[in-house]
Chains A and B, each alone.
Chain A
Amino acid sequence: MHDGQAPFAAAAGPTLSDDSLQLRADVLVLGGGPSGTWAAWTAAQSGARVVLADKGYCGTSGATAPSGTGVWYVQPDPQAREEARASREAMGGFLADRRWMDRVLDQTHENVDRLAAWGYPFPTDDAGESYRRSLQGPEYMRLMRKRVKAAGVTVLDHSPALELLTDDGEVVGAAGINRQTGLRWQARAGAVVIATGGCAFLSRALGCNVLTGDGGLFAAEVGAELSGMEFSNAYGLAPAFASVTKSAFYRFATFYYADGRPIEGAGSARGRSVIAKTLLTEPVFACLDQVPPHVRESLRAAQPNFFLPFDRRGIDPLTQKFPVTLRLEGTVRGTGGIRIVNEDCGTSVPGLYAAGDAATRELICGGFTGGGSHNAAWAMSSGYWAGQGAAAHAKALGERASSRAGQPAGRATLRPDSDARTLDPEAVIRAVQDEVFPYDRNLFRTERGMSESLERLDGVWREVQSRPVQNAHHVLRGREAAAMTAVARFMYTSARMRTETRGMHKHLDHPAQDPAQQHRLISRGLDEITVSRENIHNSSLQPVAATV
């Protein structure tokens, strides 16, 4: 996928400045996608001073902005809600929690209605009703940026965090850089919300290259736990040449070998493994030749960007065959992430909150999400609660909220034990991709494959205990490389512990679901990763007072 030629060589960036921008806030939000903007808006509504720092540009950053997404928006009708809760429980391996589903359904309904009140241009369906189960990414995120700014949030674009700051076991802020100017920044805050998204390992899946698992690394560095990291091997279907991993319409596709014979058993949902297996040895072609005639015209109006790569290549995907591939979407469409310990989306470390794809989505999906709709609902709901919880935490701290000094918690690539070597982040990234991209390693897992990958990834982890060239581009790339390495190790370490097949985790040595393993897997640590079991009935749905 990556040919390693120019212009892929090391790129330039501004030299890092010795000066730094000093900020104080009640709540600091890292990440400006759906969950980050909802967190920032909600915290600001509670009267908190809020800073939001995004690696890219709040409004275009993340998997949602360039795409479009269904939303798990269900009317508060008992039967409709019951069907919604039940719909994916089996696919998720029965690891979700119905009380969390109820909360998310309620909060999502409220938030989506708020979007309508803010002027999001929802369409009117054939029955004359406002249809609120689909959001166009560019429109949604442009609106969220506007609302966040109107609420008084200080937005820092192109300002990736590099690490958290801690004081006496609590998270008290974060530090980062402006990657366009090289200026450092440091923000002291009463609470920090990690909303940095999942990790797609720079696979160029649509909108996913800002999503390198940074938040998972930050969280692990301060001792927070992750959950469900074995559910991290989602692959998105796309034209082989393109980035547009929008899988919904492939429901209408037939898949073919190069010679035009249809591939038996191949399909976009349940038949995706057949596609992956075929791709291991030969190209796979698709044609959306099963689109019902009455919706043909509607496809383009539903997903304008789905057609963009085809239009520009001169392909009619409804009548012509085109090559397809599966791009790794990792934990972006997986369900694993930072463990949530209470109903405010707090983590196991005081002062640290997690939302969106950075957090575990097992609470509503278990081990599988069939697409964007649950993730979108989770992002806006968890963001809302995290923003609210972080603001309350800061308020309780009073004057101390933004005055604690804090020690930087980052290690890998920032404060190595030795400066004997210079880190080449691109080499690290390729090494990690070699372990996580191949379908016969990550989609189809075996004990042997995972243990071999982990051995090599442990070597890569030792490699990132060195420092890159000190310009903004390489320093950021170094941290991304370290985060990807950490996520890959969390993934396979957790996956080895799940000696069964459940949710999206397919273990070829253990192809059946094992009733004795209906639990969640919690992971922690960096140099040494340990994994423990959590009973699903020992729920994280606890009032905040009980955990402070």
Chain B
Amino acid sequence: MIELISDTRCVACDVCVKVCPTNVFDKVEDAPPVIARQADCQTCFMCELYCPTDALFVSPEADNPQTVHEDELAARGTLGSYRAAVGWGQGRNPTARIDASYRVLALVAAPEPPPRKPQPAQEQA
């Protein structure tokens, strides 16, 4: 769920307030928004995707609030990482253009092998 609005990165554009499909944020006059209804967060990561300054962090933990530290997240390059992966933001190209589903979906759609005791993945020439 949503855990962080970085005061240093946020420019108070309120785009997260606008795009959050479950209305988790509240606007604040002349200040960054606040996380007003964290329990309503559905961990869909859409706010991160739309945030122009990579000021938000959504933890992958869907059911339990976490304690996070902005410095660590920034140091690990986590802030904005999903937006980069989708190719949104200035100077980037949407990665939908290189969507490699065509290589994967055919395999996925193939009939599932009969349930069996798994073996180490077999390399085939």
Given A57-B18, A266-B115, A304-B82: A209 in contact with B94 (beta carbons within 8 A): no
Decide: B60 and A60 in contact? CB cutoff 8 A.
Answer: no
Report if A249 contacts B (CB, 8 A).
yes
Please, which residues of chain A bring their CB within 8 A of the CB of B103? 126, 294-295, 298, 302
A56 to B46, CA, bound (A): 12
Least distance between B58 CB and chain A CB atoms (Å): 9
Task: Provide the A224-267 mask, 1 if CB < 8 A to any CB of B, else 0.
Answer: 00000000000000010111100011011010000000101111
Task: Provide the A259-289 mask, 1 if CB < 8 A to any CB of B, else 0.
Answer: 0001011111111001000000000000001
Least distance between A185 CB and chain B CB atoms (Å): 16
Decide: A121 and B94 in contact? CB cutoff 8 A.
Answer: yes
A140 to B63, CA, bound (A): 28
Task: Provide the A186-211 mask, 1 if CB < 8 A to any CB of B, else 0.
Answer: 00000000000000000010111110
Task: Provide the A490-529 mask, 1 if CB < 8 A to any CB of B, else 0.
Answer: 0000000000000000000000000000000000000000
Determine the residue in chain A with the shortest Cβ distance to B27.
Answer: A180
Interface residues of A in 129-176 (CB under 8 A from B): 131, 133-136, 138-139, 157-158
Task: Provide the B94-107 mask, 1 if CB < 8 A to any CB of A, else 0.
Answer: 11111111111101
Decide: A57 and B21 in contact? CB cutoff 8 A.
Answer: yes
Report if A312 contacts B (CB, 8 A).
yes
Report if B39 contacts A (CB, 8 A).
yes
Decide: B63 and A2 in contact? CB cutoff 8 A.
Answer: yes
Report if B74 contacts A (CB, 8 A).
no
Chain B, interface size category, equals: 35 or more
How many chain A residues touch the partner (CB < 8 A)?
A: 86
Given A134-B105, A269-B112, A308-B60: A301 in contact with B99 (beta carbons within 8 A): yes
A308 to B78, CA, bound (A): 10
Please, which residues of chain A bring their CB within 8 A of the CB of B88? 138
Decide: B81 and A311 in contact? CB cutoff 8 A.
Answer: yes
Least distance between B61 CB and chain A CB atoms (Å): 5
Report if B19 contacts A (CB, 8 A).
yes
Determine the residue in chain B with the shortest Cβ distance to A140.
Answer: B96
Decide: B61 and A65 in contact? CB cutoff 8 A.
Answer: no
Report if A313 contacts B (CB, 8 A).
yes
Report if A179 contacts B (CB, 8 A).
yes
Report if B6 contacts A (CB, 8 A).
no
Out of A56, A297, A305, A313, name the residue touching B23 (CB < 8 Å): A56
Report if B38 contacts A (CB, 8 A).
yes
Decide: A249 and B108 in contact? CB cutoff 8 A.
Answer: yes
Least distance between A42 CB and chain B CB atoms (Å): 23
Decide: B60 and A65 in contact? CB cutoff 8 A.
Answer: no
Out of B43, B93, B100, B117, name the residue touching A301 (CB < 8 Å): B100
A252 to B60, CA, bound (A): 22
Decide: B42 and A121 in contact? CB cutoff 8 A.
Answer: no
Least distance between A339 CB and chain B CB atoms (Å): 27
19 A-B pairs, CB-CB below 8 angstroms?
A2-B63, A7-B37, A7-B65, A11-B40, A57-B20, A60-B46, A120-B96, A126-B102, A136-B99, A138-B88, A139-B86, A139-B96, A157-B18, A204-B43, A249-B108, A301-B95, A302-B103, A308-B45, A308-B82
The 6 closest A-B pairs by CB, nearest first: A56-B21, A309-B60, A298-B100, A134-B101, A66-B44, A243-B43
Q: Beyond the given A267-B115, A302-B101, A304-B82, could you list 5 further A-B residue pairs with CB under 8 A, ordered by the A residue number?
A: A62-B21, A123-B96, A204-B62, A254-B118, A308-B60
Chain A residues close to B by CB (< 8 Å): 1-3, 7-9, 11-12, 55-57, 59-62, 65-66, 68, 70, 120-123, 125-126, 131, 133-136, 138-139, 157-158, 179-180, 204, 206-210, 239, 241-244, 248-249, 251-252, 254, 262, 264-271, 274, 289-295, 297-305, 307-313, 473
